[in-house]
Structure 1
């Protein structure tokens, strides 16, 4: 199954020079745990709720004077929209990340897929399997 079928097409983004205080507020408003930092349409980094906790609050930095560029993870792991489910899962595991920006063939941001998306997919698959098994089970009286 291609990642484009699983990924969320709405991605919360920020520019590299945006203060993390605004990023944190946006994350709260949008109910997300990360913001993809972009340069035009290209993802160049990601700021997660953990980054805010450890790299801003943990360091005693002023959130109004600290920018996305100061705290973002720049060694961004991505997948293309045509990559498969297993490729995305492998990249997450190999790189120890829970979120993958999804790009098109030109490197432009198209969406995001998270570990929670995989969990939801697997739960749906298990529910469907359970329904099939129950439908085939003989009725006992």
Structure 2
């Protein structure tokens, strides 16, 4: 199965200068746990609900004044629409991540692929591999 068949769309990214309070509100509104961060029309990182908890709340930073770029996880691990779900699961396992931005052949963000998307659209064997990856992540 191709990633394009399992990903959820649309996907939006937030600018690096966006206050994290706005990102948290977007996460709540859209019921999502991660937002890609961009600068100069290029993805530069990801901010997750965990980033907000550990890098903003736990450190007592003001969410209205803290910019996404200050607390995001730098670098973007991504997949392509034409790759397989199996490729994405292996990448998630190797990099110990739960969500991947999905890029098209023009390197444009077109969707997101989460472990939940994988679980709903694949075989039991792939779901088993995915469960192993998640369990290993939390040792």
TM-score range (shorter-chain normalised) is 0.7 to 0.9
**Corresponding residue of 1:98:** 98
TM-score normalised by length of structure 1: 0.81
Equivalence map 1:40-79=2 (5 Å):
42-79=42-79
TM-score normalised by length of structure 2: 0.82
* C-alpha RMSD over aligned residues: 1.5
Distance 1:9 1:38 in 2: 18
Runs of 4+, deviation exceeding 3 Å: 39-42
> 1:13 Cα deviation (Å)?
2.1
Distance 2:112 2:41 in 1: 13
Question: Which shows bigger deviation, 108-117 or 33-42?
Answer: 33-42
C-alpha change, 1:4 and 1:45, in structure 2 (3 Å) is same
> 1:42 Cα deviation (Å)?
3.5
Number of aligned residue pairs: give it: 124
Which structure has the greater CA radius of gyration?
1
**Corresponding residue of 1:85:** 85
**Corresponding residue of 2:137:** none
1:52·1:71 contact (CA, 8 Å) conserved in 2? yes
**Corresponding residue of 1:25:** 25
Question: Which shows bigger deviation, 35-44 or 17-26?
Answer: 35-44
